[in-house]
């Protein structure tokens, strides 16, 4: 399940696929916590819950939103992305959720778009600057080390705005910043400027490099290791289908 918990965002990234919703975002248009609890009661058991936005941590009740779904759907894996603007909120939410739900594997996804100057140019706000992302990384890392069901990964969206700066920077990031995974994603959805798309072959080359640099890390929980094995098989199948299509 992918759940867009808010369209509100404090960044205006050029490669964003959700930009139209973000431009017209309003807290009054979001589902309330009570409405989410009501919907959650009808959900079946699930493997994966991915929250999205907007910036999820702009919701003050984010931990309660996640808990409402965990209580009924019992997901193996929950991922919550963030642009890093709210380190205290990230730590507080992850502390509460991992403590209350030891059987659920939680993952903090820190959005990072390349070296500092490149990242800051893409994000267009000091609130989600490279330095701020690293502040959030430093804040949540001690909790990651204490909790077996909490992971931390960097997520890099590959576009023409950063592709030429990624090779050496990925090596530096992997060598200097502890994380469970560096995950690269291609542009997708309704992004505004189609010229930002990178050739598929170049994206795959960089994604495989990031996997080699960080792919042996990961969660310690058995449920997540089983999930990872299934995902690895599905990723391999997806790659084969892309190759056949080309």
Q: What is the pLDDT along the chain (246 residues), one digit of tens a residue?
A: 999 988 888 778 777 766 567 677 678 788 999 999 999 999 999 999 999 888 999 999 999 999 999 999 999 999 999 999 999 999 999 999 999 999 999 999 999 999 999 999 998 888 899 999 999 999 999 999 999 999 999 999 999 999 999 999 999 999 999 999 999 999 877 777 788 899 999 999 999 999 999 865 554 555 555 656 566 666 666 667 667 766
Opening angle at CA 21, ends 186 and 10, nearest 5: 80
DSSP state of 163: G
Joined together, the tokens standing for residue 117 give: 């100057």
Residue 141: how many other CB atoms lie within 10 Å: 16
CA nearest to 213, candidates 165, 162, 178: 178
- 2-4 and 77-82 beta bridge pairing: unpaired
* CA atoms within a 13 Å half-sphere pointing along the CA-CB vector of 163: 20
Assigned token pair, 13:
């990234």
DSSP 44-78: PP-SEEEEESS-GGGSTTHHHHHHHHHHHH--SEE
């Amino acid at each position: 399940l992918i759940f867009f918990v808010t369209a509100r965002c404090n960044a205006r990234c050029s490669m964003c696929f959700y930009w139209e919703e973000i431009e017209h975002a309003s807290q009054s248009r979001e589902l309330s916590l009570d409405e989410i609890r009501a919907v959650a009661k009808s959900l079946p058991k699930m493997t994966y819950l991915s929250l999205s936005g907007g910036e999820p941590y702009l919701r003050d009740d984010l931990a309660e939103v996640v808990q409402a779904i965990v209580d009924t759907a019992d997901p193996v894996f929950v991922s919550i992305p963030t642009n890093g603007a709210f380190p205290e909120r990230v730590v507080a939410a992850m502390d509460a959720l991992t403590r209350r739900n030891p059987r659920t594997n939680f993952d903090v996804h820190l959005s990072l778009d390349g070296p500092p100057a490149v990242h800051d140019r893409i994000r267009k706000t000091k609130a989600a600057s490279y330095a701020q992302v690293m502040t959030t990384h430093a804040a949540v890392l001690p909790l990651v080390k204490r909790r077996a069901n909490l992971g931390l990964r960097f997520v890099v969206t590959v576009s023409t705005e950063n592709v030429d700066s990624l090779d050496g920077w990925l090596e530096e990031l992997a060598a200097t910043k502890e994380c469970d995974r560096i995950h690269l994603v291609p542009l997708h959805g309704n992004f505004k400027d189609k010229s930002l798309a990178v050739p598929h072959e170049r994206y795959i080359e960089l994604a495989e490099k990031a996997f080699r640099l960080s792919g042996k890390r990961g969660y310690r929980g058995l449920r997540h290791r089983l999930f990872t094995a299934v995902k690895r098989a599905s990723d391999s199948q997806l790659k084969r289908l892309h190759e056949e299509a080309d």
